[in-house]
Structure 1
């Protein structure tokens, strides 16, 4: 169990590499077996890591090189939860791909594993430079996954996506150079201990560096005004890839949370929460723009991509509220929105396939072969994402509204979330009407979905009722994670000073 924190990174790395080589790389059947088995093992390891982190956060020094010079893996309840969430989402997306999506191009399963490696590494790293490394790993894998299967729309989307992220990577390196030159370290625990004692000149440089990081992470999160790449990119990706991408914006939100409210948090002196005044209006603007995008969307995939934007803006509001109740609400909402958004991307693909040439556009089409089944799944997903009882979206948004403590916070957050929910309700009602009721003729199409695709969607959607049924334990865990998080980086600093972490 000593090496458990590194396994969510090593498992996808090793399996992804082995599937490039014979004999595993020779046939798609072998790759499918290895990929599914690896994901199941990853889920088990992630669950074990989460259980292990309940007592105390796990600090793992790779090669026994101690911080601040070694590569440090930090597995507290927050990061362990996100690793488990990633493995659950990826399992649903992987199941869906077994119906044939994985066979439309080469190396799908290896790239899928590398993507998981990058995402898990970003959640677990305790060093900002290694955060950059894992960002690059997940981005390189996502570039190839986005273009998987080929096509004009995917090619156009990938050009914008790659260009913007390469620019973001360059700014990331500039920010790392500024912060390292100022603080002499990029270990998060060491930074948190040193940032409060900076002199006036160094403090100005550190502020420039951390705001530059906000720009980079804002691009990953698709925060206004850097949101424009997401709808086209997510809509162009194949269904399993788009479903996995549902966790990508959460990586950006997580990075903002770790850096801007923990490292540059209450103990950062004059730099405490320096980025929060910037995040407030950008988060609200992201929700507003994405809500308009939901109403204006011409296709179901673009509508769901805008729903992912709304969830990113909502999570940013949870970040900047700066109280334990907001952390609880944010964690609950993050789990809910990631799995439901992933399920909706998969469902959109089935609807588009069964509608023939109309695809997922909001136009008149022939009836679908499995309209009742897909209609029920769409209805459940829509109610969940809107936030109507008794589904998890209602609980998540209610917790977030309760987290607004001051009149000023209530004055901004309540109207934004409630009006946005109303706009989403109108948009999804329009979508359902066009997709299932505006029909041409009575003869349905002959294309039917594979059972494993329905199972994958049901698997992800089942998270909603489970989050409601076990709402008490989930919120208690979130409260424990919020409390433990404050003690994690002081333990890293103790290790740096030569004590026992």
Structure 2
């Protein structure tokens, strides 16, 4: 069964390669292949979720090279959760792209599937250097996707995105070089064993490397002050690309969870919880900046981009509590915000297509033909994003608030999240009332018809907030088990220190 670990990587990789050779094939054939590839990737993620749910670690050694020297794929609850969240989001985004986005350039499906490949490698790899490789794969694909469709509005933000990520990649190499020079390994399980055993003279170099890694992951997740590139980049991307990018910041958050609970966790001796004392206050400032940016937004897509930053701050604040309850709540929130924000990006594009020259600007315009449907979808997604009852955002924020123990951290966390939520409510209420309720005279010269792919994909992503509510109990139990597994890394290190066998070990 361990061979299943290669499926989420090989399926989109092979699909992307086939798309290269089909660049001049009929579009319908290319779409069929793309949809089939994405569905198969989702099915593989579901299988792996079922395998990981028993609490075991599963390992696949490429070329049968044993750890810590070989390329290792590792499946646990966290990896399976990230795979399923990404696969579901990718499916709806890919369907949405069938309406018109994939016709704006010859290689959309290739880039989309390669990015999915890079994401899945990042979630499954058990090695820091291969995490760097995964980042490069998904980033190279994301460069092309961000510029897909052309236009100067995408070129400048895309250039900023490329430059910052190249700097991040260089810092990543510096940091892993520092760590390798002392430990002689980049296998994460092996590092978890060797870091607590470091001599005092070697601690500063590894500490510097670990802090540099935190900066890199902070850039990937868009934490303050490394977040100001995101609003322009995301708001100017095509809708399905922006929606897929809702999971990109979560890769940085995943990396922080993986590295700083396993390598620099509570068993890391003098390097235990490295950088976490900075993470919590920085996350709260990130959340606050996101709220301010959202309040000042003049377009729906810009608002949603700032919502991504708010979600990053919220999740990292919960992770910064360094407790199993905080990690569990952050993971529950991650599921909700990734799908809801993805749905909001798609919805904003539908609104833009029906408002003529008004586009997605928060100004009065003639009434849209599908005003009731789009307004209802906006209401549901906004309630879920803000965190109001009875939708999924409320449960996830409630779990985060409950995770804080009495003291200064609790006061700060409650204050920033509740006050931020209040102002977020004001911003969404203001935008929704102008776009959907206040209509000017006249009409828009557009038939206003919504195609089936875009309607189903948008409604599907938004509707997942209702699904999360219905399955809140099982999801919460899974995230609690995931947090417990992350905070007990002994099983991870024990499995990877033994010869890899076909059967899993508990």
Distance 2:170 2:399 in 1: 38
Quote the residue 1:465 is aligned against: 466
Distance 1:491 1:377 in 2: 42
Give SS of 1:59's match. Answer: strand
Aligned position for 1:19: 19
Structure 1 unmatched runs, 5+ = none
1:85 alignment counterpart = 85
Does structure 2 retain, via aligned residues, the 8 Å contact 1:67–1:492? Answer: no
Name the counterpart of 2:407: 407
Higher relative contact order (CA 8 A, sep 6+): 2
Q: CA deviation at 1:51?
A: 0.4
SS in 1 for 2:73: strand
Q: Give runs of aligned pairs for residues 461-500 of structure 1, distance below 5 A.
A: 461-487=462-488, 490-496=491-497, 498=499
After TM superposition, the structure 1 = structure 2 runs for residues 84-233 of structure 1, keeping only pairs within 5 Å, are 84-233=84-233
Shift of 1:182: 1.4
C-alpha distance 103-499 of structure 1, shift in aligned 2 (>3 A):
closer
Question: Are residues 499 and 136 of structure 1, via their aligned partners in 2, closer, same or farther at CA, if it must alter by over 3 Å?
Answer: closer
In the TM superposition, residue 488 of structure 1 has moved relative to its aligned partner by 5.3
Answer yes or no: is 1:270 the counterpart of 2:240.
no
Q: Deviation of residue 483 (structure 1)?
A: 2.4
1:449 equivalent in alignment to 2:446: no
> Match of 2:433, SS?
helix
Q: Which residue of 2 is the match for residue 297 of structure 1?
A: 297
- Structure 2: distance between partners of 1:156 and 1:480: 43
Q: Which residue number corresponds to residue 325 of structure 2?
A: 325
Closer/same/farther in 2, CA of residues 364 and 140 from structure 1, 3 Å limit: same
1:42 aligns to what?
Answer: 41
Give the C-alpha shift of residue 451 in structure 1. Answer: 2.0
CA distance in 2, matches of 1:466, 1:58: 29
- How far 1:494 moved relative to its partner? 4.5
Q: Deviations over 1:361-401 (max 9, x none)?
A: 11222221111111111111111111111100000000000
Q: Which moved more, 1:315-324 or 1:110-119?
A: 315-324
Is the partner of 1:462 in helix, strand or coil? Answer: helix
Partner secondary structure for residue 2 of structure 2 = coil
SS of residue paired to 1:106: coil
Deviations 1:416-474 (A, max 9, x none): 11011111101101111221233221535533221221100111112111111111111
Give SS of 1:20's match. Answer: helix
- What's the counterpart of residue 425 of structure 2? 425
Name the SS of the counterpart of 2:21 in structure 1.
coil
- Contact kept in structure 2, 1:364 and 1:438, CA below 8 Å: yes
Distance 1:490 1:373 in 2: 49
Paired residues of 1:99 and 1:453 also in contact (CA < 8 A): yes
Q: Aligned partners of 1:226, 1:88: CA distance in 2, in Å? A: 28
- Write the distance in 1 (CA, Å) between the matches of 2:123 and 2:499: 25
Q: For 2:300 and 2:487, locate their aligned partners in 1 and report how far apart those are by CA, in whole Å.
A: 41
Q: Cα deviation per residue 1:5-48 (whole Å; 9 max; x = unaligned)?
A: 111011111110011114x7522211100111111111111000
- C-alpha spacing 1:288/1:491, structure 2 compared with 1 (3 Å): closer
Say if 1:53 and 1:75, in contact at 8 Å, map to a contact too: yes
Segment of structure 1 superposing worse, 365-374 or 384-393: 365-374
Q: Which runs of 5+ in 2 are unaligned?
A: none
Compared CA separation, residues 405 and 279, structure 1 to 2 (3 A) = same
Paired with 1:499 and 1:492, the residues of 2 have a C-alpha distance of 12
Bigger Cα displacement from structure 2, 10-19 vs 432-441: 432-441
SS in 1 for 2:362: coil
3-state SS of 1:201 partner: coil
Q: Deviations over 1:115-160 (max 9, x none)?
A: 0000111111110100000000000000000111101111111111
Question: What is the CA-CA distance between 1:325 and the residue it aligns to?
Answer: 1.3
Contact 2:192 2:493 in 1 (8 A): no
Deviates more, 1:425-434 or 1:390-399: 425-434
Q: Which aligned segments of 4 or more residues in structure 1 are displaced greater than 6 angstroms?
A: none
Q: Which moved more, 1:358-367 or 1:3-12?
A: 358-367
Q: CA deviation at 1:489?
A: 5.7
Cα distance in 2, alignment partners of residues 2 and 147 from structure 1: 37
Q: SS where residue 196 of structure 2 aligns?
A: helix
CA distance in structure 2 between the partners assigned to 1:261 and 1:423 by the alignment: 33
TM-score (norm 2): 0.96
Does the aligned pair in 1 maintain the 2:90–2:244 contact within 8 Å?
Answer: yes
Q: Which moved more, 1:91-100 or 1:338-347?
A: 91-100
Within 2, Cα distance between the matches of 1:81 and 1:246? 15
